[in-house]
Chain A
Amino acid sequence: MHEILFALPMAIVAIGAFVLMIVSPSKKIKLGTINLIALLFLTLSFVVNYFTFNNNTPHFLFANIFRNSFIIDDFAHIFDLIFSAGAILTLLINNNYLKNRKYFNGEYFALVLLSVFGMMMLSHAHELLTVFIALEIASISIYALVGYHKNKRASQEAMMKYLVLGSLNGLFFMLGTAMIYGAVGSTSLTDISIYTHAHNIQDMKLLMVGASFLMVTILFKIGAVPFHSWVIDVYHGAPYPVTMFMASTFKIAIFAITLRLYLVDFYSVNSFWTQMLQAITIMTLIGGSWIAINQKLIKRMLAGSSIVHSGYLLIALSSIGLNSELAAPALMFYLIVYFISAVGAFGILSFIASDSKYQMSYEDFKGFADTRPYMALMMSIFMLSLAGFPSTIGFLGKFYIFTSAIESGQILLAGLGILIAFISVYYYFKLIAMMYFYKSDQERKRFPITRSTILIAIMALIVIWGGIGTTLIPFIPGADGFIEIAKGAINSLS
């Protein structure tokens, strides 16, 4: 009976996706109602997840049926919470966008729920084939979402690009899995872990090649240079809500499985990839910055900067390989940080885009602080956080990443990271400059109090409180609260 409780969050989302698929063709049900149903399922999942989450000892879900395909631990639970929160925020914040764009219909919500289901499966997966299936469920839903604007060329192009490259990439994953199976005789992470611990690295060349193929898949999905060619166009072509969902939530899902693979079953051999990862990190940081600097559209700039953020996360990943104790919690914390900041930034962008015809370039933001002072303030807060400015949660994120890099002895990489953070100040502050430094000829607009704006304001407050908040004030967890969560999640892995 207790087991069902653990399976519920995933099950609720899956059932929700099917229910929505069934009701969505009906002409009688309005889009708003469908949105509400989707939110209901997601919230239910979130709540169940929240209450089953308290320092469980890791165990396999329905071990007699699924064998050891799914694991239940705090690590997966926290990711589940993030995924459902991400989807809830995506649906709520983009309410206006959905209303003002005619091309959205019921399937959109079904696809979002389905991809959340895939991601949840991914965070629980403890078996390479399950990982593959989960990854594909999530990815295929995202492919469909990216191409959701059927009459827009850019959207279609983005979908094709992502679909073709993503599928090719899926093949790499399969190939890697096959090789690992060839070496170990099993695809279970437990068996692989036992195998890697028992053997010398020279004796498992086949496994290492296979595992490297898995790494390629992961690097592709997080948009690391040189596997980044799709990122800008796909982020640009996708509708704003989808971009937001991809950038904030889907990217974190990939790191969920990366961390599990890296910390659990390839733990004894993960120093093997350190040099490769360092090279890729350097390329990602520099390449991403180069891309982000040269963009005119805010959406594309944020896409470029999301590559840079992958680079920061990769710094932590290579630090893990060099036996840094701080690195894994740092990575986890940074994921939370990036999630909050990116949801906020894309949320505002989508909110503004929802009732304007503009392309949302830097130029379009001229005088924004005059017409919408509060929006401009919140946007600045998210930009500051993404830039890692102190007094925001983004600073603490970078603080941990860089200290972990120093701890692992990668002084130069930490130095490069700080240099890249400096460069990122330019493209984030350019937006702030555009908003504040120019006068607008339009009248000042009232701050619209809607679901979207209230949520965005809450996210902005979290960004600030997460940076300066102290746990000394009772009942409100401050910056330390987030760090404790990150540490707890990592501890439950081993």
Chain B
Amino acid sequence: MSHLLTSIIFLPLLTAILLGTFRAPIKLLKLGAAFSSLGTIVLVIFLLLHFNPHQGMQFVQNSPWIYNSGISYIVGVDYLSLVILSLITLLIPLLYLYMYKENRKGYWYNMMLLQTGVTGAVLSLDMILFYLFWETMLLPIFIMIGKYGNGMKQYNSMKILLMTILGSMSMLFSILYIGYVYFDIHGVWSFALTDLTTLSFNAKTSIWLASGFLLAFAIKIPLVGFHTWMAPAYGSAPTPAVVILSSIMAKLGIYGIWRFGFSLFDATLAYYTSTIIVLALIGLLYYAIRAVTEDNLRKMFAYSSGSHLSLIALGIFVTNIYAWGGALYLIAAHALASAGIFILIGLTYKRFATVNISELGGIASVAPKFAFFFAFFSLSIAGLPGTGGFISELLIIIGAFKSNFWIGVFTATTMLAAMTYIFWMLQRTLFSQANNACFEIEDLNTREILILLPLTLLILLMGIAPSLFTPLVEPGLSRALENILTQIGGL
């Protein structure tokens, strides 16, 4: 039991190393990847069955690692990491199914490394361990964009690498400083989150340290102003990388604020609250406008993803139970919907060799199944009632109204912008006059439907029967919120 999380984290990496050492042929490699992803599914299902929603951190494994500097290997799971962990575990096998025909070995190795990186980041409770995974998950993305991407791939992958590392370096500085402060007080080194949360800093230091963390997370999310890497990277990245970028890695930025920001700098984050809410509101509007004007589908949904992540960021800084619940729900709902839409964009590219809206048209008349799924995922991103997106957006808006009338008004109105670009895009791609390029294209085949079906069902289930999911996270969520509110005394 105590090694369960470790197995979940390292199963893909070990498979990759094993296959790499023996220079496995491509068929065996695919089989190994499938084995590792299904293996993690089994482990995560086991975890879900034994997960107790009324407890805090569970399945904690704590072993000394580099004891000279108090760096330990600590992993654990709670309501928050469970959500993202389940998402990762669900998406990776679907992506493997998508990559079924991919014969470049590096692709598969990178995906396995990526799975270990993101899973590790979400489960680690030691700052240095977290930093290690946080950086490691960047490497496969860097290679995948630069090697297998399209467009100005070399430039764009260097851009995402440098910008993200700038953020992580600033976080590293804060981590080292906090670690040193702990050493100064207690005489021993420790980077364990539970130890570091006992520290308190004076206001000025705390603001500086928090900004180190926030820069890293703001770049990852990305909040508006830190977003210049986003559209180029999404535009150049191959589909599996885009899906991970938007469904998982962007959420990890939110996760970072939630897990580390709130527990290390509870009071200080109140100082930043207004800044981030304003940035999020600007982001909601700005990204929506960019999405309306964008012709490239990938970039359009990149902006749309930025807009939704701004909404999530707003949700967690509006500290009340509605907004928090909505934010957590939206993390899951948006991850599923954007995974679906980016997979569909990938399929579009395979069929039409273009993802520009202006070159597409009339898909609905030639490929009805394709058009159905495309419309479904687009609308669930926009928050169609009956999908998970609707409930979460509603909750966030209610939360925003509860905290401040004007924040609520802005949030609610900017949500309309999402409708604008989604409907306009659907009208142009699916229903307008069919182009020459769009005749004689295949509809979705069984394998492709098989990829999209689980996502579709989950999104519907989340929309229709939220009560299936809430018991798993609600107790933990309300307890965490209570803690925060007693610390900062509300917004």
Which chain A residue shows the least CB distance to B177? A406
Interface residues of A in 420-447 (CB under 8 A from B): 421-422, 425-426, 429-430, 433, 436-438
A433 touches B132 (CB 8 A): no
Chain B residues, Cβ within 8 Å of A487: 68
Tell me, rounded to whole Å, the shortest Cβ–Cβ distance linking A422 to chain B. Answer: 5
Tell me, rounded to whole Å, the shortest Cβ–Cβ distance linking B159 to chain A. Answer: 11
With A390-B131, A436-B143, A470-B66 as given contacts, are A403 and B176 in contact (CB-CB < 8 Å)? Answer: yes
Contact partner of A437 (CB less than 8 A), chosen from B146, B169, B177, is: B146
A399 touches B169 (CB 8 A): no
Any B CB within 8 A of the CB of A484: yes
A437 touches B147 (CB 8 A): yes
Any A CB within 8 A of the CB of B308: no
Could you give, for residues 169-188 of chain B, a 1 whenever the CB lies within 8 Å of some chain A CB and a 0 otherwise? 11011001101100110000
Any B CB within 8 A of the CB of A480: yes
With A390-B135, A429-B161, A433-B158 as given contacts, are A414 and B176 in contact (CB-CB < 8 Å)? Answer: yes
Which chain A residue shows the least CB distance to B68? A483
Complex CA distance for A411 and B441, rounded to whole angstroms: 61
B65 touches A470 (CB 8 A): yes
> Which among A87-95, A303-311, A471-479 touches the partner chain?
A471-479
With A425-B162, A426-B162 as given contacts, are A403 and B179 in contact (CB-CB < 8 Å)? Answer: yes
Any B CB within 8 A of the CB of A258: no
A425 touches B154 (CB 8 A): no
Chain A residues, Cβ within 8 Å of B172: 402, 418
Chain B residues, Cβ within 8 Å of A421: 169
User: Which bracket fits the contact residues of A?
Assistant: 35 or more
Total interface residues in chain B, CB < 8 Å: 35
Tell me, rounded to whole Å, the shortest Cβ–Cβ distance linking A468 to chain B. Answer: 8
Which chain A residue shows the least CB distance to B205? A411
A419 touches B154 (CB 8 A): no
Interface residues of A in 327-344 (CB under 8 A from B): none
Any B CB within 8 A of the CB of A182: no
Any B CB within 8 A of the CB of A25: no
Chain A residues, Cβ within 8 Å of B142: 429
Tell me, rounded to whole Å, the shortest Cβ–Cβ distance linking A419 to chain B. Answer: 7
Tell me, rounded to whole Å, the shortest Cβ–Cβ distance linking B482 to chain A. Answer: 34
Complex CA distance for A308 and B209, rounded to whole angstroms: 26
Chain A residues, Cβ within 8 Å of B157: 433, 437
Which chain A residue shows the least CB distance to B65? A470
With A390-B131, A414-B173 as given contacts, are A480 and B165 in contact (CB-CB < 8 Å)? Answer: no
Any A CB within 8 A of the CB of B487: no
Tell me, rounded to whole Å, the shortest Cβ–Cβ distance linking B270 to chain A. Answer: 24
Chain B residues, Cβ within 8 Å of A430: 158
Any B CB within 8 A of the CB of A226: no
A-B contact count (CB 8 A): 84
Could you give, for residues 107-142 of chain A, a 1 whenever the CB lies within 8 Å of some chain B CB and a 0 otherwise? 000000000000000000000000000000000000
Contact partner of B66 (CB less than 8 A), chosen from A396, A406, A415, A422, is: A396
Tell me, rounded to whole Å, the shortest Cβ–Cβ distance linking A332 to chain B. Answer: 13
Any B CB within 8 A of the CB of A368: no
B176 touches A436 (CB 8 A): no
Binding site secondary structure of chain A: helix
With A436-B143, A480-B68 as given contacts, are A419 and B169 in contact (CB-CB < 8 Å)? Answer: yes
Any B CB within 8 A of the CB of A400: yes
Any A CB within 8 A of the CB of B166: yes
Any B CB within 8 A of the CB of A391: yes
B158 touches A484 (CB 8 A): no
Which chain A residue shows the least CB distance to B166? A422
B176 touches A390 (CB 8 A): no
Which chain B residue shows the least CB distance to A333? B68
Chain B residues, Cβ within 8 Å of A468: 132
Any A CB within 8 A of the CB of B136: yes
Chain A residues, Cβ within 8 Å of B177: 406, 411
Tell me, rounded to whole Å, the shortest Cβ–Cβ distance linking A371 to chain B. Answer: 14
Complex CA distance for A402 and B173, rounded to whole angstroms: 8
Could you give, for residues 130-165 of chain B, a 1 whenever the CB lies within 8 Å of some chain A CB and a 0 otherwise? 011001100000110011000001100110011001
Which chain B residue shows the least CB distance to A387? B165
A480 touches B147 (CB 8 A): no
A403 touches B180 (CB 8 A): yes
Tell me, rounded to whole Å, the shortest Cβ–Cβ distance linking B416 to chain A. Answer: 40
Chain A residues, Cβ within 8 Å of B131: 390
Chain A residues, Cβ within 8 Å of B103: none
Chain B residues, Cβ within 8 Å of A400: 69
Complex CA distance for A468 and B161, rounded to whole angstroms: 22
Chain B residues, Cβ within 8 Å of A157: none
A425 touches B165 (CB 8 A): yes
Any B CB within 8 A of the CB of A233: no
Contact partner of A433 (CB less than 8 A), chosen from B73, B154, B184, is: B154
With A403-B179, A418-B169, A425-B165 as given contacts, are A479 and B135 in contact (CB-CB < 8 Å)? Answer: no
With A390-B136, A396-B66, A429-B161 as given contacts, are A436 and B147 in contact (CB-CB < 8 Å)? Answer: yes
What residues make up the interface of A, taking CB atoms closer than 8 Å to B? 389-391, 395-396, 399-400, 402-403, 406-407, 411, 414-415, 418-419, 421-422, 425-426, 429-430, 433, 436-438, 468, 470-472, 478-480, 483-484, 487
5 shortest A-B CB distances, which residue pairs? A437-B146, A390-B132, A422-B169, A483-B68, A406-B180
Provide a sorted-by-A list of 5 A–B residue pairs whose CB atoms are within 8 angstroms. A418-B169, A419-B169, A437-B153, A484-B68, A487-B68
What residues make up the interface of B, taking CB atoms closer than 8 Å to A? 63-69, 73, 128, 131-132, 135-136, 142-143, 146-147, 153-154, 157-158, 161-162, 165-166, 169-170, 172-173, 176-177, 179-180, 183-184
